[in-house]
Amino acid sequence: MARSMEPLVVGRVIGDVVDMFTPATEMTVHYGTKQVANGCEIKPSASADKPSVQIHAPPPASSNLYTLVMVDPDAPSPSEPRYREWLHWIVVDIPEGSDATKELVAYMGPQPPTGIHRYVFALFNQKGKVMAGCRPPDARSNFSTRRFAADNGLQPPVAAVYFNSQKEVAVRKR
Amino acid sequence: MAITAAVATTTAADCSSNRWSMQSLSSALPSLNSITCSSIRFSSSSHCRPSLSLTRTQQAPHLFSSYTGLASNNPLLSLGFSDLTSFEHGLAFVDNGCRISAMRHGRRVPKLNRPPDQRRALLRGLTTQLLKHGRIKTTRARASAVRKYVDKMITLAKDGSLHKRRQALGFIYEKQIVHALFAEVQERYGERNGGYTRIIRTLPRRGDNAPMAYIELV
């Protein structure tokens, strides 16, 4: 098992969201200046805007396009994930290097109502330029990353990262 | 880990002048307790290194190369307690007279630095919150202490009789959580025998550098 896969297994991202895969691509996600590392804590206010995503692929595949999916497997609460998974963002046709060009599903920032939620970014390698016949999912709740990838021929993922977030303490007016 | 970093940078600076003095090392050490604990945890930090941010992983290998060259296998020996080498080499004597061992021999109950009534209240509160939220973030000692009580509550719920329900109501602070737990535990943990929690270690807390962990229901 690769070194970078261990936090994903320990955090049960592999298992809840995706299946075991070998990381083929490096992906870095930044919210402002803060880089997303596996299991780090990011406040909802810091992640309200879209992050910037950089993809570094190994040299032989330089004209690849990628699909990024962001889901929350702990919605609405980690002890009762009724809406597993909650879809936050889908971006398709990402070229090498940077960022979000074509959003299939608009970005929605983390709003965990209760408990500490994991937010998973999963990157898939696209075979063709335009994802033919893919419609945006009609509802954000009860989304399945595995089913989405299987329907659009994207299996398996090439990179994944996740972070934690919890509801911020509201400022009380005395 | 910050304490070990401070020691390593001090000794590395002294090494550059080719003279390692005991005074500089002992002045840099806050107390014996923290060195023992931090040196033990340093070896376990290699497991949680993937979860650290990038700046820390760049520092950590450099610190290893400068620190282990100076210390012998027993970190306590390097501090000059040479009269304990022959036997009792796992023990050291601190100024206030108690003995510190490098191993856990005979320690049955985690005391959590609290008197017994407060300790019980803390554990009750932590299990209530863990059953309510599903995943909480606390210190590592508290997380490993609360595992036993969460497993006990889930075992009571698996039994499901009235007596067990009343026992659970006597421990958990909120009764909706008990009723919800008894209702859903069969489908969730029906096949699982024990081990209903998982602990994931994480970065230390900023205010007091306490080692933190997420504990979650499996």
Q: Is residue B62 part of a domain?
A: no
Strands A40-41 and A157-166: parallel
Closest by alpha carbon to B204, among B65, B72, B53? B53
Residue length of chain A:
174
Where is average pLDDT lowest: A66-70, A93-97, A162-166, B124-128? Answer: A93-97
Measured distance CA(B88)–CA(B174) in Å, rounded: 48
Do A78 and B133 make contact, defined as CB atoms within 8 angstroms? yes
Q: What average pLDDT is seen over chain A?
A: 82
Q: Is residue B35 part of a domain?
A: no
H or E stretch covering A10: helix A6-10
Q: Is residue B64 part of a domain?
A: no
CATH number of the domain where residue B202 is located: 3.90.1030.10
Distance from CA of B53 to the nearest CA of A (A): 6
Measured distance CA(B170)–CA(A16) in Å, rounded: 34
| pLDDT-based confidence at residue A26 (cuts at 50, 70, 90) | confident
CATH number of the domain where residue A130 is located: 3.90.280.10
Domain count, chain B: 1
Query: Which tokens in the block code for residue B93?
Result: 């004597």
pLDDT of residue B216: 93
ipTM score for this prediction: 0.82
Alpha helices in B17-68 (DSSP H): 22-28, 32-48, 54-67
H or E stretch covering A15: helix A13-16
Nearest CA in chain A to B129: A115
**Is the predicted pLDDT of residue B172 greater than 80, yes or no?**
yes
Residue length of chain B:
218
Q: Is residue A172 part of a domain?
A: no
| B214 touching A (Cβ < 8 Å) | yes
| pLDDT-based confidence at residue A174 (cuts at 50, 70, 90) | confident
Measured distance CA(A41)–CA(A116) in Å, rounded: 9
Q: Is residue B29 part of a domain?
A: no
Give exposure, A24-48, as e/b (b: 16+ Cβ within 10 Å).
Answer: ebebbbebeebbbbbbbebebebbe
Q: Is residue B50 part of a domain?
A: no
pLDDT of residue B15: 42
Q: Is residue A50 part of a domain?
A: yes
Average pLDDT over residues A56-82: 80
Q: What residue numbers bound the domain in which B166 lies?
A: 114-217
| B111 touching A (Cβ < 8 Å) | no
The values of phi and psi at residue B161, to 5°, are: -80, 170
Q: Is residue A110 part of a domain?
A: yes
Measured distance CA(A78)–CA(B136) in Å, rounded: 10
Q: Is residue A104 part of a domain?
A: yes
Alpha helices in chain B (DSSP H): 2-16, 22-28, 32-48, 54-67, 116-133, 140-159, 162-171, 175-189
Do A11 and B200 make contact, defined as CB atoms within 8 angstroms? yes
Mutate to test the interface with B, among A1, A10, A161 (most CBs of B within 10 A): A10
User: What does the pLDDT look like over B12-60, one tens digit per residue?
Assistant: 444 444 455 566 555 655 544 444 444 444 434 434 444 444 444 444 3
| pLDDT-based confidence at residue B67 (cuts at 50, 70, 90) | very low
pLDDT of residue B72: 47
Measured distance CA(B110)–CA(B119) in Å, rounded: 9
| B17 touching A (Cβ < 8 Å) | no
**Residue B136: which of A7, A37, A116 has the nearest Cβ?**
A116
From edge to edge, which strands make up the β-sheet containing B212-217?
B135-139, B212-217, B197-201
Size of interface A-B (CB pairs under 8 A): 57
Nearest CA in chain B to A161: B51
User: What does the pLDDT look like over B100-130, one tens digit per residue?
Assistant: 888 999 999 999 999 999 999 999 999 999 9
AA letter at B111: K
Q: Measured between beta carbons, which residues in chain A are less than 8 angstroms from residue B184?
A: 80
Q: Is residue B122 part of a domain?
A: yes
Distance from CA of A71 to the nearest CA of B (A): 18
| pLDDT-based confidence at residue A97 (cuts at 50, 70, 90) | low
Domain count, chain A: 1
pLDDT of residue A96: 61
A38 or B166, greater pLDDT: B166
Q: Is residue A86 part of a domain?
A: yes
**∠ at Cα B176 (B170, B178), nearest 5°?**
45
Query: Which tokens in the block code for residue B119?
Result: 């300790």
Measured distance CA(B66)–CA(B13) in Å, rounded: 10
* Region class of B79: left (phi > 0), else alpha (psi between -120 and 50), else beta: alpha
| B132 touching A (Cβ < 8 Å) | yes
Average pLDDT over residues A57-84: 80
CB atoms within 10 A of CB A49: 11
Q: Is residue A173 part of a domain?
A: no
Q: What residue numbers bound the domain in which A13 lies?
A: 5-166
Measured distance CA(A44)–CA(A168) in Å, rounded: 7
Q: Is residue B170 part of a domain?
A: yes
* Global pTM exceeds 0.90: no
**Residue A78: which of B50, B51, B134 has the nearest Cβ?**
B134
Q: Is residue A155 part of a domain?
A: yes
Q: Is residue A31 part of a domain?
A: yes
Nearest CA in chain B to A78: B134
* Region class of A168: left (phi > 0), else alpha (psi between -120 and 50), else beta: beta
Do B200 and A38 make contact, defined as CB atoms within 8 angstroms? no
